[in-house]
Amino acid sequence: MRCNVCLFLFLLHFATSCKEDGQSVQNKGVPPPETVPKSDYDSLLSKQLAERADFNQGLAANRSEMFANIKERDAVIEDLRADIDQKQAAITALEEALDDVNAKLKDCHEVGVALRAELKGAKSLGALEYADLFDRSSNISHEEAIRLYELFLDKFPSGSVSRKAQSRINFHKQQVVVKKNRASARPLRIWQSRFQANRLSSTANARTALETLIGRKADSAKRGSSSEFKEVTYVWRDYISDFSSGFRDLIVETIDDKIAKVYAGETVRK
């Protein structure tokens, strides 16, 4: 029995010794972890922190620029929507007016044929009276009315009758100009934004710049009474489309040939 106990203790000691030797051999085979000097570690850490700060700063700048661009685009979109609504309203009004004109033309067709025949053979004041009657009753275009009065002037170039005919020609020519103006009319804020985008407030030759941007010369120009400054007020008739479905004059005041003020006329024309 004692021999068995001794043999058991010997075997237990032998097994423990083998286990410790195996762990020592295993630990010797694992290489130690790599390390870097603290100065290199601090340098790398500082560089990383600086790059992160630059990245955050650039990200903030890009976000600010993006929001500014979005805000600017939203303003342009609102202006375009307002312009589209204005044009749609104008188209609807023109369609209704066209239907009305077609109805009147249909009613006046027979009268117009008779008046044309009488106008062709007229030789005196009655010719102009018939021309006026045809002009006012049949709703012909301004261009056609001008042509009819010019035919009358070819036959009667002088006298009070011709002066009356010339007056009617001038009237219809003015209406042609107004018609063209209204086709190019825009809301006041559109004109102001265009002038601002082209920096006309600082342009040293406002009249030429305005004519180039708008597309033609002003309908009228009025000089101020100041002896110290050169003041000129330019007017484009019916060049502003009003939200009340009418039109206003576009008025631009200049001082020393630089834009000082842009606004709409007080009168609303239908």
User: Where does residue 113 fall: left (phi above 0), alpha (psi -120 to 50 degrees), or beta otherwise?
Assistant: alpha
User: What pLDDT score does 117 carry?
Assistant: 52
Please report the pLDDT score of residue 17 as a whole number. 60
Spans of the chain below 70 pLDDT? 1-34, 36, 107-139, 159-160, 243
- Predicted local distance difference test score (pLDDT) of residue 234: 92
Which pTM was predicted?
A: 0.43
Distances (CA, A) of 188 to 78, 175, 212, 259: 14, 22, 18, 15
Cβ count within 10 A of residue 264: 18
Q: Give the end-to-end CA distance of the chain in Å, rounded to a whole number.
A: 131
128-175 residue pLDDT tens: 555 565 555 456 777 888 888 888 778 777 766 777 778 888 888 888
The neighbour count for residue 145, using CB atoms within 10 Å, is: 24
Looking at residue 124, what is its pLDDT?
47
Note the pLDDT of residue 128. 56
pLDDT of residue 214: 85
